[in-house]
């Protein structure tokens, strides 16, 4: 993986499916690493944002990590889904402390759909929301 320093002090890396962004100003990353090492990922989770516009989602996610001092988010490179769920950004945190503030932060942005905070345990155990499951079914037809 290659690293690139972006203008707004984010560190970027990429794999086949995701682009990862790290806030170069955040000390929050140590808390994330601690939660990853706990049984069932401790309280680690992520705020889930969706959009049909990858560019808008990228800008909003980067604004959020810098505004709230969070350290990591990832965004999918491409999607077979359509509509409002085409792209997802997962902004990692060690609990859901900013859930309401992020919802308020995004309420004027009609292109971004903030869903909720989801625990990493649920993700690793494939526990998905009904809306996500319905969207997968619709896109497989």
Does residue 40 have a pLDDT over 80? no
Tokens for 88?
A: 């997802």
Q: How many CB atoms lie within 10 A of CB 59?
A: 14
Stronger pLDDT, 24 or 63, i.e. the higher one: 63
Stronger pLDDT, 64 or 15, i.e. the higher one: 64
Q: Which of 36-40, 87-91, 125-129 is the most confident on average?
A: 87-91
Tokens for 78?
A: 């491409």
Q: Express as a percent the part of the chain with pLDDT over 70.
A: 70
């Amino acid at each position: 993986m290659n690293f690139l320093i972006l203008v707004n002090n984010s560190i970027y890396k990429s794999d086949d499916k995701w682009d990862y962004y790290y806030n170069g100003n955040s000390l929050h990353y140590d808390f994330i690493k601690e939660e990853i090492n706990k049984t069932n990922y401790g309280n680690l989770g992520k705020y889930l944002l969706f959009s049909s516009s990858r560019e808008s989602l990228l800008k909003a996610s980067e604004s959020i990590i810098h505004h709230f001092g969070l350290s990591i988010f990832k965004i999918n490179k491409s999607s077979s889904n359509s509509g409002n769920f085409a792209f997802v950004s997962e902004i990692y945190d060690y609990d859901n402390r900013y859930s309401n503030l992020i919802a308020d932060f995004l309420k004027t942005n009609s292109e971004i759909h903030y869903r909720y905070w989801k625990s990493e345990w649920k993700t690793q155990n494939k526990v998905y929301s009904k809306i996500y499951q319905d969207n997968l079914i619709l896109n497989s037809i």
